[in-house]
Structures are given as structure tokens and as C-alpha cells.
Chains A and B, each alone.
Chain A
Amino acid sequence: MAPYRSLPDAETLSRLLYRAGVTSNGPAGPFAAPSDRISILAAEPSDGPRARAASPVSAGAPIAPRAFGETEHGDFSDVIASAPPEEPADSGSLPTIAEMSEADLQASIFGPHLESMPTEERLGAFVQWLMGGTGAFAAFVADTEGLPLTNRNAPESYLAAIGPLGRAQETIARFVPSPEAGSSTVELDHQNVLQVIWSDTAAGRLAVGLVLGGALDQTMVRRIRKITQLSMSIRGEA
């Protein structure tokens, strides 16, 4: 078996192909009830992290419709002026985050049910917090090859850049060792940057990518790294 094999076992795959409408004959025996992954497709959650269903689909947190295209002239610049990219979370302004204790920060992101939250749900809550707390236009968590675990609004070209960035980071670490996994910032245009924060987690090295107006300071970077590690460190229901 190839070391990178990642299709499920034959029986699970057979059931999956049946449910996906690829095959007309399912495997013998009762089929598993549709998982809670379905609910995320049916409707966006109405409130709080627990309202989100666990899913590899990662539809993400609810996207509040803005007045996009509904301004007098239907012009994008009107929208930018009238609506900021993301409302800061209640507990998420930058100074507050930097000053909060780890326990408070954890509670503000995940609520009281962290240990029972499926990994996907935790990541969804994390990304929602990231966007609210940093004012990012896009945020994602991906592995070192750029395969997203969760993604809100980041274009594929940014995800595709993760592989080369990660390899460069490893090379740099050989010359300039650091106790942390490092971070990288790429200028996108005159206003925005892609900041990638690397974290060594229980699930391996992961990249947190943010598209925002300016690079975050070291305090925020360390906090985000810590929360990334926390998101992946506990075995949830998933």
C-alpha cells in the first residue's frame, strides 16, 4: 500500500460511492445514517460555534451579507467604504486578545465545550475568531502542501503558495534556527499582505494563512500559533 494512501477502506469507500450517487448498488447491510456533515450544507448556522456542524466541507461560519451591489451605483468601492470586511468579534479586538489570559482566550473562541467539539468545528470556530479578531479578509488552515482543513475566502493561488513557502521556511530555519515554527509575510498589493503562521501541532505542521491589511505583531503571532496547536491537540467527536 502506498504510504500516502488516503482513500478509506473498501467497504467505507463502497458506501461512500453509493451515497455519492456513483454506484447504484450499495454494500450489504444497513447503511449508516447520513452524518451531521449534511446539515452544514443545508443552512448556515444561526448562532455560536456549537451551531456549526462538523464537516470537511468547511462552509465556514455564517457570512453576513453586506450591502454588496445594492448601493446606489452598485459599485464595489461604495461597499468597501460602507462596510468593513469583518466586524470584530465581541471579545476580539487586538489589544484585548494580546492581554487576555490563555484560558479566557480559549473560552472566547471555543466556548465551554472544547473537548467535545469535533476538529472541523473547532477549526471553524478558530477561523471565525481569526477573521473577527484580526480584521482579515480571508483566513485558512492548511497542511504543508496547501490542502485546506478549513478556508474562508482565500483563493486557491494563496493555498498553492503554501507548499513553496513551507519549504523555504524549513530552509531558512537551517540557517537561522528558531524555537518556533516561523511565519512568512507576502505583500499582495499596496494595501494587503498574506501572512502565514506555521505551527507544529499534534497533527503535524500546519499553516494558518491570513489576508489582511498589515502583518500582525509577534504577540498575536504567538497567540495564534498557540490556539492552532490547541485546536488540533484534543481528540474531539470527529
Chain B
Amino acid sequence: MKVIGVVSQKGGVGKTTVALNLAYALARRGQRVLLADTDPQGGVGLSLQRLQPGPGFAGYVARKLPLESVVVKTRLPEFDVLPMGNIAIQDTHALAARLVDGAELRRLVSDAGPRYGILVLDTPSGFTGVTLGAMRVSTAVVSPLQAEPLAMRSASQLLEVLAALRAEGATLTLGGFLLTMLDLHNADSLGVAMEAWSDLPNAVVFQTTIPRDPLFLRASGAGVPVGLLSHQPPPVAALFEQAAMELEARIGLAKDEKDDGPIPLFA
């Protein structure tokens, strides 16, 4: 099983949106995906429509509930969600303390391994304890890079953290920076994207970019991935399918990389 940590130094960059839509797109492509929310504030749970309160990940950690009893099934058989569950803000500190060393997350990886091909971890912003715990168990990390001033500061920070974790012996890799909230008509936004494309190796920047689009707000308001906004998904939903394809190639999950040649157009 591949574990994908979705991480960012900065808050409000679209991390939960990326985690949710990327996980959904991976499942749509046939991967067996579990999206787990490690943010004690439960960003994923807040983002989803009609998600009934339940013990969630907090219950899995605190009460040692079996994984299958805390995951929530979706309309896609390949896609399950593990929301944070109900937790009072007073308890977030205690929960975070339990996640810092990665032991509980390793248990999650171990339990999820037989059932899923990909575990996507949504994390709190900043490289604090919980996020470091998630990174320690991750195969690769994907970092949304908000195409706005200051974004590149967080890119440098992530590279520093990756270097430090690898010096510790971790084997995780950088799945890539995914430019989000890109506004091609705004010079500042475009400037950030240009800097990312010119200064960072191609291998670490997704070719796919996620635009600043009100449809994401609509999807967030409706509590669904953009691909479920209607029976005819908007074009931006395809961007996450594209990002999912890129990610599969980056982490070695592409189903068949052999070039099977041109396929005849006519039957």
C-alpha cells in the first residue's frame, strides 16, 4: 500500500480540497483508496455532505475501535473515508500528542494495508507533531502550493523537513508540489507559478495546476468532491483525474507503463 501525505506549511492553501478530490479521482481510476483525516480539527469531515457524527479516527486512536467500524463508505466501492470524528477542541492537544511519534499512524497503515492500495492522509497545516507523524509513515508527500505571494517560502520549508526526515532514515519521497488557486490573469499569481516552474525541477512540480475557481467553493458548500457536483462533472473535475494519473506515475502505481502502440481508430 502506498501512503500519500498531503502536507503544507501554510493553512488555507486548499489542502483538504486536494486530499479529498485527489483521493476521489484515484478511486475513480480504480485504486482502492482510504482517505484519512489526521487533522484534529477534522477538515475532511467538515467538507463532506451528510456525514453522520461518529467515532472516526479519534475513536480508532482513543478507544482502539476496529478500523472497519470507523470508516465511512461512499458511493464508490473503491473509496472509503475515515473522518476525524467528534472531538472537542479541549481534546485536540491530547489526540495530537498520541499521533506525534507515528505509532498510531503506523497501526492505521498496518490495518489499512490488506484492504486498500492507497492511503491518503490529510494533515494539519504546519510541520508540527501530527504532520511529522504522518510524514514518517508516508511513502510520498504531495504539497499544495498556493499560487500566491509567500507560497515559495512554504516550499523551502517542506524541502528542509524532507531532508531532515530522510537524514533520520525515512524513505519518503516528494510526490510533488501541486499549484493551487492559480489565476492566470493575475501577475502575482502567475509570477509564483513561473518561479516554481523555473526554479524547481520538473520532477517535483505537477504539470497539472488547479485554478482559482468558484466551483471549488460550490463543491465545498455542497460537501462533495467537484466530480460529484452534478451528473455531468465540470471540466475542473478532470484536472484532479489528470493529477491522479500524474501521481500514479510518480509513486509507481501506473498500471501498465509499456507502450502498447497506436490503437486502431476504426473498428
Contacts and interface: CB of A to CB of B under 8 A. Distances in A.
Given A59-B129, A63-B93, A66-B94, A19 B167 contact: yes
Nearest to B95: A68
B267 interface: no
A41 interface: yes
A57 B63 contact: no
B12 interface: yes
Contacts of B40: 153, 155
Given A7-B152, A76-B87, A147-B153, A60 B11 contact: no
Interface residues of A, number: 66
Nearest to A65: B97
A189 B86 CA distance: 15
Given A16-B160, A38-B167, A160 B199 contact: no
A65 B98 contact: yes
Contacts of A183: none
A75 B93 CA distance: 15
A112 interface: no
A6 B150 contact: yes
Given A37-B164, A58-B128, A155-B40, A68 B9 contact: no
A60 B162 contact: no
Interface stretch (A80-88, A95-103, A217-225): A80-88
B12 A68 contact: no
Nearest to A140: B126
A8 interface: yes
15 contacts: A2-B191, A6-B156, A17-B201, A20-B159, A21-B174, A22-B173, A40-B164, A57-B157, A59-B127, A75-B63, A147-B153, A153-B128, A155-B92, A155-B124, A156-B124
B150 A21 contact: no
Nearest to A71: B62
Nearest to A44: B100
B98 A41 contact: no
A115 B129 CA distance: 27
A63 B100 contact: yes
Given A16-B159, A68-B98, A74-B63, A41 B39 contact: no
Contact of A157 (B41, B64, B88): B41
Interface of A: 2, 4-8, 10, 13, 16-17, 19-23, 34-35, 37-38, 40-42, 44, 55-60, 63-66, 68-69, 74-77, 79-80, 83, 85-86, 137-138, 140, 143, 145-148, 151-153, 155-160, 163, 188-189, 192, 211
Contacts of B203: 22
Given A37-B160, A85-B93, A156-B41, A76 B132 contact: no
A79 B92 CA distance: 11
Nearest to B152: A6
A77 to B, nearest CB: 8
Contacts of A2: 149, 188, 191-192, 194-195
A156 B9 contact: no
9 closest Cβ contacts across the A-B interface? A69-B62, A160-B12, A156-B11, A155-B41, A156-B125, A19-B163, A159-B11, A68-B94, A74-B63
A13 B199 contact: yes
A90 B168 CA distance: 34
Given A68-B97, A74-B62, A74-B64, A21 B43 contact: no
**Do most interface residues of chain A lie in helix, strand or loop, or is the interface mixed?**
loop
B96 interface: yes
A69 B132 contact: no
Interface string B43-81: 100000000000000100111100000000000000000
Contacts of B152: 4-7
A34 B89 contact: no
Contacts of A59: 100, 127-129, 132
Given A21-B163, A58-B127, 14 more contacts: A5-B195, A6-B156, A16-B159, A20-B166, A22-B201, A38-B168, A57-B128, A68-B98, A74-B62, A76-B88, A86-B93, A140-B126, A148-B9, A152-B128
Contacts of A34: 163-164, 167
Contact of B91 (A44, A76, A157): A76
Given A189-B89, A192-B89, A57 B164 contact: yes
B155 A157 contact: no
B154 interface: yes
A162 to B, nearest CB: 8
Given A147-B9, A156-B39, A85 B90 contact: yes
Nearest to B93: A153
Nearest to B100: A63
B97 A64 contact: yes
